[in-house]
Structure 1
Amino acid sequence: MTQPIRFAILDYPGAMQSAVLGLQDVLSFAGDGSGRTLQIDVLERFSGKRDAYDAVILPPSAGAVRVEEVPDLPPFLKARHASGSVVCSACTGLNFVMAAGLAGRRKVTTHWALEQRLRAAYPQIDLDTDRLLIEYTDLITAGGLMAWVDLALALIERFLGYGTAVATARHFIVDFRRRDQRRFRRFLPDLRHGDTAVLKAQHFLEGNLEEAINIPAAAEEAGLPQRTFLRRFRAATGISPKTYLQELRIERARDLLIETEKSVSEICYAVGYNDPPSFVRLFTRLSGLPPGSFREHYRRDAQHAD
């Protein structure tokens, strides 16, 4: 007799109830259509003995996640992982994966807005927020708040087959293609880290993007020796000043593409770059689309919204 497939959805404090219920609905439909027995448990407590599960799923939270408020959850994940469960997280659920030490040196993903906070909390983390879904045999991480849909489809494909996953996607009218979320990415730097010298440099960089500013100039503005500045800047923001400046400039370029009629070359110069081809390559890498396609994408969305 075939063993039932067993999933556990972890309804931790603050978990988004629409995702908890949605995961139940999507996975249950897939189980009914596959001819396999699929058991889905929703767990609100994580201490004591638990049954073995094929997968345990961390839904997203609509608010900030505080791991210390759910101290039993990381040990629970470690125990389930050690027993052979696939540990899965969507968006903020990655906080618990990291607290349990399950990612190791592997790339993981989450919502891009959580990147700096997670890098500060877990310096060893290897984040790739360009990717909506990253799968390993024992770990699946998914990106934004609604990426639980993609996570559910990945689990369905893995445990119930590709055909069932396609049929489920069609039933719920969702895209089964593995999408790229870079085009939705925004750079939202932390300005509340408490290092006033670094904050002064951040304001300086933000206010002078169109100038030929460099890292020594930012260090001087902060009133710090360059080596000290580099160390403190990374500690406060989670990234190097060079990467920070690139992110600021590309974010500004996105705004100009959406809000103005400037050409790509004009925008290149307006955000402090002097080489349009290099600017286009950098923009494409960070945004997932070339500048012209990015502009068309947003204008098409605006037309549909109208």
Structure 2
Amino acid sequence: MLRLAILAYPGAMQSAVLGLQDVLGFAAQACGAVLEVDVLTDFSARHAAYDAVILPPSSDEVRVDAVPDLPGFLKERHAAGSVICSACTGLTFVCAAGLTGGRAVTSHWGLEQRLKAAYPEVDLDTGQLLIEYTDLITAGGLMAWVDLALALIERFLGYSVAADTARHFIVEFRRRDQRRFRRFLPDLRHGDKAVLKAQHFLESGFADAVTVEDMAVASGLPGRSFLRRFKAGSGLTPKAYLQELRIERARDLLIETEKGVAEICYAVGYNDPPSFVRLFTRLSGLTPGAFRVQYRHKEPDVAS
């Protein structure tokens, strides 16, 4: 069963709250998935485990002090393995919870100065419509909740279900295309909190010179226990997991930027471009150059 929570904080757009329920509900019904969506207004109470929690936009300015329990709720859910999602103003609460981890995030361009003043440490890229990580998805403008919903549908129910949903509602599915037929979306709901700490550590620090010992320290486990439990929880060895994470980010950079292959190699944590090319080719089935040529400009036609 897929379980999601929509956080109807004070001022959240009801059209987005209801629209998310409609779009997600249609997708689940279309593929026969069991979906439970909770609309939450009380963030001090204990809640069930969720695969994802969603912060819809607000048409007004949001104030964190008006919902003091919400940042703590987000931290708790994130620590339990939920994917944290925001659209537009919802990013304010993500920043207040300290969940960006130094990574680029997006929101409405009109909020840029306000968010940068309140959270100067946050890397805000309002030129992007959607920025997706394993544990965090942020979307731009007031109507970007639609793109966020499609990203969640693709992640949990598959590309074809997301494309069919976009077709049914006659909305564009440009950002979420099938250009990466092999994606790395590791499980965060395995229930091992120590392993999850290591996964979150890698999400924000994958480009650094990370060692297995660093991962073990982040998890709070001794070395041998860490190796055993990380493999059991994630399905991969720590080294293989880090490789997959770095190559996934390299795929993003090849599609979304003009950076050269060597520059991308260094950006994702490798120092040897030829070795990086070999690893990328092994994990993706194409060289970085061929990957960029083949997938960068392909857009699915949802109108046909």
Which 4+ stretches in 1 moved above 6 angstroms? none
Equivalent residue in structure 1 for 2:154, among 152, 157, 160? 157
TM-fit CA distance, 1:36: 1.2
Mapped partners of 2:150, 2:137: distance in 1: 12
Mapped partners of 2:86, 2:61: distance in 1: 15
**Identity rate, percent:** 74
Question: 3-state DSSP class of the match of 2:58?
Answer: coil
Greater Cα radius of gyration, structure 1 or 2: 1
Mapped partners of 1:34, 1:66: distance in 2: 38
Mapped partners of 2:14, 2:59: distance in 1: 9
The equivalent residue for 2:42 is 45
Give 2:115's aligned amino acid.
L
State the TM-score, normalized to the length of structure 1.
0.57
The equivalent residue for 1:107 is 104
TM-fit CA distance, 1:18: 0.3
The equivalent residue for 2:78 is 81
In angstroms, what is the RMSD of aligned CA positions?
A: 0.8
Question: 3-state DSSP class of the match of 1:145?
Answer: coil
TM-fit CA distance, 1:178: 1.4
The equivalent residue for 2:123 is 126
- Whether 1:62 aligns to 2:56 is no
TM-fit CA distance, 1:72: 0.5
Give 1:164's aligned amino acid.
V
Mapped partners of 2:89, 2:101: distance in 1: 18
TM-fit CA distance, 1:14: 0.1
TM-fit CA distance, 1:67: 0.5
The equivalent residue for 1:140 is 137
Mapped partners of 2:163, 2:101: distance in 1: 32
Equivalent residue in structure 1 for 2:7, among 6, 10, 33? 10
User: What whole-Å deviation, never above 9, does each CA across 1:101-129 have from its counterpart, x for those lacking one?
Assistant: 00010000000000000000001010111
TM-fit CA distance, 1:48: 2.0
Equivalent residue in structure 2 for 1:172, among 163, 169, 172? 169
Aligned length, in residue pairs: 176
Give 1:91's aligned amino acid.
C
Q: Any unmatched runs of 5+ in structure 1? A: 180-306
Mapped partners of 1:7, 1:48: distance in 2: 16
Mapped partners of 1:178, 1:167: distance in 2: 15
Give the alignment of 1:252-271 within 5 angstroms.
none
Q: Any unmatched runs of 5+ in structure 2? A: 177-304
The equivalent residue for 2:266 is none
Mapped partners of 2:116, 2:88: distance in 1: 14
Give 1:119's aligned amino acid.
K
Equivalent residue in structure 2 for 1:30, among 27, 32, 35? 27
Give 2:25's aligned amino acid.
S
Mapped partners of 1:42, 1:48: distance in 2: 13
Question: 3-state DSSP class of the match of 2:46?
Answer: coil
Mapped partners of 1:49, 1:19: distance in 2: 24
Give 1:162's aligned amino acid.
Y
TM-fit CA distance, 1:81: 0.3
- Whether 1:21 aligns to 2:18 is yes
Give 1:35's aligned amino acid.
G
